Amino acid sequence: MNKTTLYIIRHGKTEGSQDRRYKGHIDVPLSEEGLRQVQDLADALFRSGVSPSRIYSSDLKRAVQTAEAIDNALSCGITIEPRLRERSFGVWEGMTFEEISKAWPEAFENWKADPLRFHPPEGESTLEVRDRVMEATEEILQKHRGEEVLIVAHGGVNRVLICEFLGLDLRHIFRIEQDFACVNIVDIYEDGLPVVKRLNYHCNNCLLKDLP
């Protein structure tokens, strides 16, 4: 049966990621470690024979740098897609979980009570992120039916996509781990059935043979 194979990749490690602050739309670059991670990932994808028709990347620098490293190895071209950018946390961007809970105690409790519909001041809700991400992804899949295609995005975006492909309620979004420079692989068959083949997968020399 004909299928479309979608590779969903998270960007590499970013500068300041050890501080565990909500980055959202803050346009931080990859760290030195992150640059090494995405180069290793690109080399692994090349050696594994992955051959996407196109790379679609969030417009944020950390994703674009990741996409560029992959494109240097695979030579398939990059389309920048702003709808794949990370969730906007509005005025909470740059803050830690603990700082938010202290500075915005009432809003913080509202977030915990309704994590899907709540949006931080000047930010987005999970449902709003889902709507724009799925709109973009459905367009990409329609354009590349029967092909391999690659998305480079963010932890929050990837979790939304995985929930959708697994048929999970979005309330389970934070039960899905997405490490820096990880790969998720989804086959979508002609009947629309998605089959998730890999989750939070790390490409390295020991695991190359496991990739399709």
Q: Average pLDDT of the chain?
A: 93
- 194-211 per-position pLDDT tens digit: 999 999 998 764 444 455
pLDDT over threshold 90, residue 35: yes
CATH number reported for the structural domain that contains residue 90 in this entry:
3.40.50.1240
* 8: containing domain: 3-210
Q: Residues near 119 by Cβ (< 8 Å), separated by ≥ 6?
A: 90, 125, 128
Per-residue pLDDT reduced to its tens digit, 136-193: 999 999 999 999 999 999 999 999 999 999 999 999 998 999 999 999 999 999 888 9
pLDDT: which is higher, 16 or 185: 185
How many structural domains comprise the chain? 1
The sheet carrying 183-189 orders its strands as 78-80, 55-57, 148-153, 3-10, 183-189, 194-201
**Best CA proximity match to 140, nearest among 76, 200, 84, 74:** 84
List, for residues 122-132, the tens digit of each pLDDT value: 999 999 999 99
- pTM across the whole model: 0.94
Positions annotated as catalytic residues are 11, 86
